[in-house]
Amino acid sequence: MDITQKIAIATADILKESYDHVVETHAVQIDATRKEFEGDYTVVIFPYLRALKMKPEEAGNALGDQLLAAVPEIEAFNVIKGFLNLSLSAAYWSAALASISADEHWLKRGKSGGLSLVEYSSPNTNKPLHLGHLRNNFLGHSVSLIKEFAGNEVIKTQIINDRGVHICKSMLAWKMHGKGETPTSAGIKGDKLVGKYYVMYDEHLRAQVKKLVVEGRSEEEAKKEAPLSKMVQDMLLKWEQGDPETIALWRMMNGWVYEGFDATYARMGVSFDKLNHESETYLKGKDIVKVGLEKGIFFTKDDGSVWVNLEADGLDQKLLLRADGTTVYMTQDIGTAAQRQEDYPSLKQIIYTVGDEQDYHFKVLFLILEKLGYDWAPACRHLSYGMVDLPSGKMKSREGTVVDADDLMAEVVEAAKTSSEEKGKLDEMEQEEQGQLFEMLGIGALKFYLLRVDPRKRMMFDPEESVSLNGDTGPFVQYTHARCKAVLRKAEEFQCGAPESLSEKERQLLRALMQFRTVMNGAAEEMNPSAVASYCLDLAKMYNQFYHDLPILKAVDEEVKGFRLALTKLTAETLATSMGLLGIQVPERM
RNA sequence: GGUCCACUAGCUCAACUGGAUAGAGCAGCUGCCUUCUAAGCAGCAGGUUUCAGGUUCGAGCCCUGAGUGGAUCACCA
């Protein structure tokens, strides 16, 4: 049993037996003792002062005496104000380390928990991925891993927005100006090529609009009447009617984009178990809406459009089908949810990784799903994250301030290479292995940089800082792991020792290592990878202090040496596992 | 205008969900490599937690009001 829990139970017992004061064990507040005070764990006793009718110090001493007698692991205590600081024995700590090191489940995934579907990425198929997608993908992927580790079965999924006007724009521009250009002939990635035509369309359209405005039309009229707009609408219509030539073009250009995306995803280290194509699920949305209409969950307006009334839930009315019977965004999301229920009958939850500008949309979606009677609807979550800002402000494709995902990844890897070569520690490493290491460090730095911030918060992207390998960064954690490994390579066979006394650094490190499961479960519950990142940093800092202050291989006492080696081994494993949950690999040497 | 969300050191972020003297990193200054990896460690400096009230043993965190910034309130996705 966890020692803090043991102390909590003992505390509750004492309060009940001696003072007739009933406290739930989970309500007993026990924290790690702050480092400026003597002790390992601290019981906060302010809440019991009234019941005990004592002053803080008096109550602390009374409780401390009884805990000392009741819990054998406790060796000593001190009281400061309303805080009872408990010191645990060296025997307890070494036994704890030995037990965790031998526990084969400690660093392995749990088993309980239902089937969760995590959706992320979901880009439009008309332009390449950018910095915003990186945050989205890293978050979604990491949350999948964390949920899985906590015991859930997880299906990683994305919905591909392969339908609608935006892709038609690229298609049209390619048809008009492409001269049969392909990714191979142009020598660029497919997503980049399609993006190029999307931009081209936009430029031509703007020129046409400008001309019309000069001729006296309003901005809005001009946009509608521009020849290109009409051609795009025409093309969309043809697509919906299944015109073979249009469909073929659509297939080809989407194919280019997918190939490009796949290359980007591969480098990012993210993957998907299941894809949903919007071009396939939007029709299902229509069907579901019709069913809901029959059940009286939705209603029809005079023009024939279909709505849902959410006024009773404090929201407004929301359109689900246009008067002409075509679908909207919400309809498609309903259809996709229904499709998923069919694909996975045991589905318990869907987690949607989507920017916080869509908070309202998901509030509405979840309400509708609940009204439609999906029993897993209340468990659905919107993993809502804030936008990534640049020092120059918001990213805007119009102004060319978008940070391209491929470019950025190439940059961070290059930066990792440069700094590594400056340090010159890798001379003995094979060329190929070096390449892998730079990749690991660069991408690791980028992922860590984007994941260490609370997902819900908007964050600032500083290009300089993102490639930095010093300070609170991924490579700092990776370095610490490599450092542990270096020690372990030099060590002979060892057994976890049981020293007679422990130093402060050893206790701190071990206490942090023992926090592992609690931290991971919390991160899973909150869908918050930043909690894992913070944990990695804490652990790495503590290990480095420990490493710096105390000899490991050169410890004189064999018990001490064994203990410190065991600490080193567990630290390496814990760091590797934790970083793994962020989707970051750690090297053996660097 | 309605609703929602932010605001913490020069900058970027923490703070175990109400606990001790609010912590890290970066940037600045200063030390430590003939001892297990210096991508490290240690130190100095940096704060009225946007402001004004309130709740209580105790508030960065809860409540009220104000300020600043952002999102959203589409028959776009």
CATH number, domain of A35, equals 3.30.1360.70
Q: What's the angle, vertex CA A189, arms to CA A187 and CA A190, rounded to 5?
A: 110
- Pair (A432, A557) in one structural domain: yes
Residue A519: inside a domain = yes
pLDDT of residue A447: 97
What range defines the domain where residue A176 resides?
A: 120-288+340-399
- Pair (A234, A370) in one structural domain: yes
CA A143 to C1' B1, in angstroms, rounded, equals 38
Residues of A350-380 as b/e, b for ≥16 C-beta within 10 angstroms? bbbbbbbeeeebbebbbbbbebbebebbeeb
> What pLDDT band is residue A85 in, cutting at 50, 70 and 90?
very high
Strand B proximal to A358 Cβ, under 7 A: yes
Strand B proximal to A47 Cβ, under 7 A: yes
- Pair (A214, A265) in one structural domain: yes
CA A59 to C1' B25, in angstroms, rounded, equals 40
Q: What is the mean pLDDT of residues A271-298?
A: 91
pLDDT of residue A398: 64
Inter-helix orientation angle A558-581/A474-490, to 10°: 140
Strand B proximal to A311 Cβ, under 7 A: no
Tens digit of pLDDT for each residue in A183-242? 999 999 999 999 999 999 989 998 998 898 888 888 778 888 889 988 998 898 888 888
- HSE at residue A437, side-chain half, CA atoms within 13 A, is 21
Residue A312, both tokens? 């009773």
pLDDT of residue A301: 92
Tens digit of pLDDT for each residue in A387-417? 999 987 777 666 667 899 999 999 999 999 9
CA A457 to C1' B62, in angstroms, rounded, equals 21
- Distance CA(A239)–CA(A198), nearest Å, equals 18
CATH number, domain of A467, equals 1.10.730.10
Residue A531: inside a domain = yes
Instruction: Give the percent of chain A with pLDDT over 70.
Output: 99
The chain-wide mean pLDDT, for chain A, equals 92
- Pair (A168, A145) in one structural domain: yes
ipTM of model: 0.96
**H/E/C letters for each residue in A151-218?**
CCEEEEEEEEECCCHHHHHHHHHHHHHCCCCCHHHHCCCHHHHHHHHHHHHHHHHHHHHHHHHHCCCC
The whole model's pTM is what? Answer: 0.95
Pick the closest to residue A574 from A544, A525, A536, A526 (CA basis).
A536
In the listed set A399, A419, A444, which residue is the last one of a domain according to the structure? A399
- Pair (A56, A148) in one structural domain: no
- Distance CA(A308)–CA(A32), nearest Å, equals 51
pLDDT of residue A87: 95
Strand B proximal to A534 Cβ, under 7 A: yes
- Pair (A80, A219) in one structural domain: no
Q: What domain count does chain A have?
A: 3
Which residue matches tokens 């959706």? Answer: A119
Strand B proximal to A531 Cβ, under 7 A: yes
Which residue matches tokens 């490190």? Answer: A509
- Pair (A206, A345) in one structural domain: yes
pLDDT of residue A399: 64
Q: What is the mean pLDDT of residues A570-578?
A: 98
CB A131 within 8 A of CB A403: yes
- Pair (A194, A273) in one structural domain: yes
Residue A283: inside a domain = yes
In the listed set A399, A420, A450, which residue is the last one of a domain according to the structure? A399
Strand B proximal to A55 Cβ, under 7 A: no
Pick the closest to residue A164 from A125, A192, A195 (CA basis).
A125
CA A546 to C1' B34, in angstroms, rounded, equals 23
Residue A326: inside a domain = no
pLDDT of residue A185: 96
- Distance CA(A309)–CA(A346), nearest Å, equals 29
Nearest nucleic acid nucleotide to A80, CA to C1' distance: B20
Residue A207: inside a domain = yes
CB A451 within 8 A of CB A139: yes
In the listed set A88, A112, A128, which residue is the last one of a domain according to the structure? A88
